[in-house]
């Protein structure tokens, strides 16, 4: 069995759970973005509000990177079967 087949089977088997996990992250980002949009006019805002928006946007970016690029693949690999002699055994 090739790596692609193994990954494909894991995606079929655990895809719903991973999609729900991704949706949860998307809702978190949406909530953070909604807060930031309340202070959308940063240039006319007081200094503390402008700083708040930059902090919120940075947190949203970091959460996206962690959720989409780090946690998702790690969780998928944890669900993949081991001991079948393909690359995920390493």
Answer whether residue 20 is part of any domain.
Answer: yes
> Is residue 64 included in any domain, yes or no?
yes
- Token pair for 14: 């655990």
**Cα–Cα distance measured from residue 31 to residue 34, given in angstroms and rounded to the nearest whole number:** 5
First to last CA, the chain: 15
- pLDDT for 2 beyond 60: no
Give domain status of residue 88, yes or no.
no
**What range does the domain containing 29 cover?**
3-82
Predicted TM-score (pTM) of the model is: 0.38
For the segment 13-18, the average pLDDT, to the nearest whole number, is 68
- Write the pLDDT tens digit of every residue in 21-80: 777 877 787 777 777 666 665 556 677 777 777 788 788 778 877 777 777 677 767 766
Cβ count within 10 A of residue 80: 19
């Amino acid at each position: 069995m090739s790596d692609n087949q193994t990954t494909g089977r894991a995606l079929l088997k655990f895809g719903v759970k991973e999609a729900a996990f991704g949706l949860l992250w998307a809702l978190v980002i949406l909530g953070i973005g909604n807060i930031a949009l309340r202070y959308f006019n940063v240039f006319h805002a007081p200094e503390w509000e402008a700083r708040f928006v930059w902090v919120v946007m940075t947190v949203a970016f970091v959460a996206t990177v962690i959720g989409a690029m780090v946690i998702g693949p790690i969780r998928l690999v944890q669900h993949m079967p081991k001991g079948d002699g393909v690359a995920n055994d390493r």
